[in-house]
Amino acid sequence: MTKQPMDKPALRARMRAERDRFVAEHGGRIVVPDWFLALLRAGLTVASYHPIGSEADPAPLANAAVAAGATLALPHVAGKKAPMRFLAWHPDDGLADGPFGLQQPTGDRPVAPDIVLTPLVAFDGARNRLGQGAGHYDRAFAEHHDALRIGVAWQVQQVDRLRPDPWDVPLHAVITEAGSIRERN
């Protein structure tokens, strides 16, 4: 049987439309799993993200992290080709307009995260991930290989099976409004 390459651009378009429809018709709120709360400790650095469009808002997870004494960071990119950095950020700090309609941190304090809350376009039951396609998170995961990679998405973004490319690094867990998928349940 020959392996067909996965049409990632077409899947992205379909899943962004699914995500838009879910938010327009239902809305949702990410539910913080007990196992996530149990991970949190003072002194951890948790990279969150500021959602754009119909992305799931990780704020309930980020707020729980802050309540546990963790420090937050947000991703920062200068463009499609530039590598992504995680910059320390406090909820009282401002945000500035960035590329792709992003709101990004303004300071310049790069940090190495212990936990990375990752926006998703799609995911599968094996915790493979489809992102925006610029490779920003792929490269960040290669750099911060010891960080815990947690995807955040709406349940409608789950597909039967993604076919990972050689550089794709699977997530440790995915958290949605309906529950979570973990490496060991």
Q: Which residues bind ligand ATP (CB under 6 A)?
A: 8, 130-139, 142, 165, 167-168
> What are phi and psi for residue 96, nearest 5 degrees?
-125, 150
Residues 151 and 129: their CA atoms lie apart, in Å, by 8
| Binding-site partner at residue 28 among ligand FFO, ligand ATP, none, CB < 5 to 8 Å by type | none
Rounded to a whole number of angstroms, the minimum distance from the CB of residue 181 to ligand FFO is 19
Q: Report the partner that residue 167 touches, choosing among ligand ATP, ligand FFO, none (CB closer than 5 to 8 A by kind).
A: ligand ATP
Site residues (CB under 6 A) for ligand FFO, limited to 115-134: 119, 131-132, 134
Q: Is 170 in the site for ligand FFO (CB under 6 A)?
A: no
C-alpha torsion 138→35→55→178, nearest 10: 130
**90 vs 163, which CB is nearer to ligand ATP?**
163
Residues 6+ apart with CB under 8 A from 8: 130, 133
Please name every residue paired with 57 in a beta bridge, in sequence order, or none if there are none: none
Tokens for 82?
A: 């530039």
Q: Which of ligand FFO, ligand ATP, none is residue 55 near (CB under 5 to 8 Å by kind)? A: ligand FFO
- 16 touches ligand FFO (CB under 6 A): yes
List the single partner that 151 binds among ligand ATP, ligand FFO, none, CB under 5 to 8 Å by kind. none
Dist. CA 151–CA 71, nearest whole Å: 19
Q: Output the DSSP codes for 52-91.
A: -TTPPP-HHHHHHHHHTTPEEEEEE-SSSSSPPEEEEE-T
If one asks whether residue 51 binds ligand FFO (CB under 6 A), the answer comes out as yes
Nearer to ligand FFO, 119 or 151 (CB): 119
